[in-house]
Amino acid sequence: MSWFQLIKRRVLTSSSQNPALRTLFTPIVNGSRIIHFNWSNKPHIEVSKNTTKEMNGSRMFFEAFAGVKLSSRSFHYRLKSSSAMPDVILSEKDRITEHNKEVDFSRPEIIYEKKRTAELLRGLLILQLSSFDAFVQNSMKLMTLGQSFLGQRLFNWLMRRTFFGQFAIEQCQEEILTEKQRLEECGIASIFAMTAEEDVGEDSDHFNEDRYDRNLESMLLCLEMTDRMCQMVTRPKLTQLKVSSYVKADVLAKVSEVLGQLNGDFMIPGNAVSLENFVQGLHGKMQNIPELSEAEMKHIRRAMLRLNAIAQKASDKNIHILVDAEKVNINPSLSLIAMAMMKKFNVRKAVTWNTYQCYLKDTETCLLRHAQLADKEGICFGVKLVRGAYMDGEKINAERDGLPVPIHDSYEATNIMYDAMVEFLMHRCVVRPNMLETRFIIATHNEESILKAICLMKELGVSSACDKVTFGQLYGMCDHVSYALGQSGYPVYKSIVVGPVEDVLVYLLRRAQENNTVFHRLQKEKNLLKQEILRRMS
């Protein structure tokens, strides 16, 4: 069965579970309208008659999907019966079950085999406490109180053995190496992440260039550490990059405002907020942006050189940089910077990846647009696909400012978009073997999305050893997912925050407060921890 027939079957039989796919393919997919997508000679789609407007939409999607330019003459209109459809069609649930017999997220005695009992007890305690809203929302106050009452040294000792130890590692080479090796024994690779960041409005009248330069030095050391510790690892080397660690968030917000006025289009000729100008910024030749002051221009020019130094070192060390998405008010500028880094460094391999948050309503549009742009500019495309980590804050900010809420109305809508984007990216990886490279990481804790992705990999003949499609979870969370994937041979990573206790703890508490709803979805993990603890004690 061809990949296109496969999509037809999947869309037509599972539209109730995945209506986003029907939306993506409408009007191409409608009953038996899909006839054929011919990959030989000139790519073309044979469909029944549609209006000009519909066909333009169809062509736009497939240009992004297949990475080819389709002229109007490439479309052939012909009706065929649906008799070509498979006689037996499995339900979505049955398909997933059929293809995922070797991945079991429900066997704690196997999943936690390498975990010490003390670690299981700590994990259960931390996850249980984190599920209480009052505890999470007052965690900053509790931290300040603990530091005052216990003193910094005793407080740090306690945190290393509880919250900090659950989610992060100190900048101690020996400790980092030990934990990395423990994870590798279970088939899990490591992504080391630095914690420095900045929000809009923080110290808004001052450009602390020394701090940004220190962050640069820390990141360069992180790249050195990643390269040194992962020399013998067969998996691709990955690291995370938070742009607001090197560029003032207020400046990023201003650039995003300009992009908002341009409907997010950074390819308009003659505009200073453009892909070309930001690529020039990486070379130290950025033109003035009228909307920025002289001081802001001086800062962003210096910041682009910092980012260039990071990307250059990563390219030299063959490390992939995952540029983190942040909040909606600066995300457009982050995507522009990420695409500029791709334009310069992703000529032969996907060095820089951009992050797309599927809880945002416009993610589908952005991802498809950037995929098309990558093909047009001759760029290898890298993607980190997440649901999103600022849900509660984005809703509050939008309501406060009288703006439309950018987040999907339901968790299910987010799931639908996430799974649709996984399918889109998976097909880019698979059906374009001789074209520009596409790589992506399925960064999620959601078991259903992971199982759907594995099912799709099997249907498309993607080996579990394929390093273009990888999985990722946060260190200290959803270990039952990561360990099960690793033990089944799938490429899976743990994102590990590295840094001093004081800095990292503030970072972790911010993330917990901004997205505390995630802790309410960890009931299965807590149950598995309880089962294994009781089994060991019996």
Cα 147 from Cα 349, distance rounded (Å): 47
Instruction: Give the angle 526-530-535 at the CA atoms, nearest 5°.
Output: 150
- How many angstroms separate the CA atoms of 324 and 138, rounded? 26
Rg (alpha carbons) of the chain, rounded to whole number: 24
Low-confidence ranges of the chain (pLDDT < 70): 1-101, 196-205, 232, 432-434, 511, 513-521
* Cα–Cα nearest to 2, from 31, 39, 28: 39
Peptide bond into 269 cis (omega under 30): no
The last residue of a domain, from among 59, 76, 98: 98
Whether 10 is covered by a domain: the verdict is yes
Looking at residue 100, what is its pLDDT?
A: 64
Both 186 and 320 in one domain: the answer is yes
Pick from 55, 70, 98: which residue ends a domain? 98
| 174 and 94 share one domain | no
Q: Provide the 10 A C-beta neighbour count for residue 151.
A: 11
Last residue of a domain, which of 98, 123, 152?
98
pLDDT in tens, 177-213: 999 999 999 999 999 988 766 666 566 567 889 999 9
Pairing mode, strands 492-498 and 168-169: parallel
Compute how many other C-beta atoms are within 10 angstroms of the C-beta atom of residue 138. Answer: 13
Helix (H, G, I), strand (E, B) or coil at 138: coil
Q: Map tokens 């952005």 to a residue.
A: 366
Q: Indicate which CATH number applies to the domain containing 418.
A: 3.20.20.220
Sign of the CA dihedral with 517 first, then 107, 476, and 191 last: negative
Domain identity same for 187 and 269 = yes
Residue 395 in any domain: the answer is: yes
Report yes or no on 134 lying in a domain. no
Q: What is the pLDDT of residue 199?
A: 65
Looking at residue 352, its amino acid is T
Does 299 share its domain with 396? yes
Domain contains 114: no
Tell me 356's DSSP state: E
Considering the domain architecture, whether residues 362 and 492 belong to the same structural domain is answered as yes
Q: What is the pLDDT of residue 463?
A: 87
Rounded distance, CA 271 to CA 405, Å? 29
Same domain, 49 and 181: no
359 shares its domain with 259:
yes
- Cβ pair 416, 11 in contact under 8 A: no
Which contacts of 143-148 are long-range, i.e. CB under 8 A and separated by 24 or more positions? 143/505, 143/506, 143/509
Number of domains in the chain: 2
pTM of the model: 0.82
- Considering the domain architecture, whether residues 273 and 403 belong to the same structural domain is answered as yes
Give the span between the Cα atoms of 59 and 69, in whole angstroms: 8
Give residue for tokens 């530091």.
147
Report the Cα–Cα distance between both ends of the chain, in Å, rounded: 51
Instruction: Please check whether residues 385 and 262 belong to one and the same domain.
Output: yes
**119 in a structural domain:** no
**Same domain membership, residue 310 and residue 182:** yes
Q: Is 78 exposed, middle or buried (0-12, 13-18, 19+ CB in 10 A)?
A: exposed
In a domain, 14, yes or no: yes
Q: And the tokens for 391?
A: 């849900």
Q: Which helix (H) or strand (E) holds 471?
A: strand 469-474
Same domain, 317 and 436: yes
Q: What pLDDT is recorded for position 389? A: 78
Evaluate whether residue 152 is within a structural domain: no
Pairing of strands 44-47, 36-38: antiparallel
Would 417 be classed as within a structural domain?
Answer: yes
Token couple for 197: 């960041």
Full domain range(s) for residue 455: 168-202+211-230+237-528
Question: What is the pLDDT at residue 45?
Answer: 38
Which residues does residue 237 pair with via DSSP β-bridges, in sequence order?
319
> Do 92 and 184 share a domain, yes or no?
no
Q: Residue 441 and residue 482: Cα distance in Å, rounded?
A: 13
Q: What is the pLDDT of residues 307-359, one digit of tens each?
A: 999 999 999 999 999 999 999 999 999 999 999 999 999 999 999 999 999 99
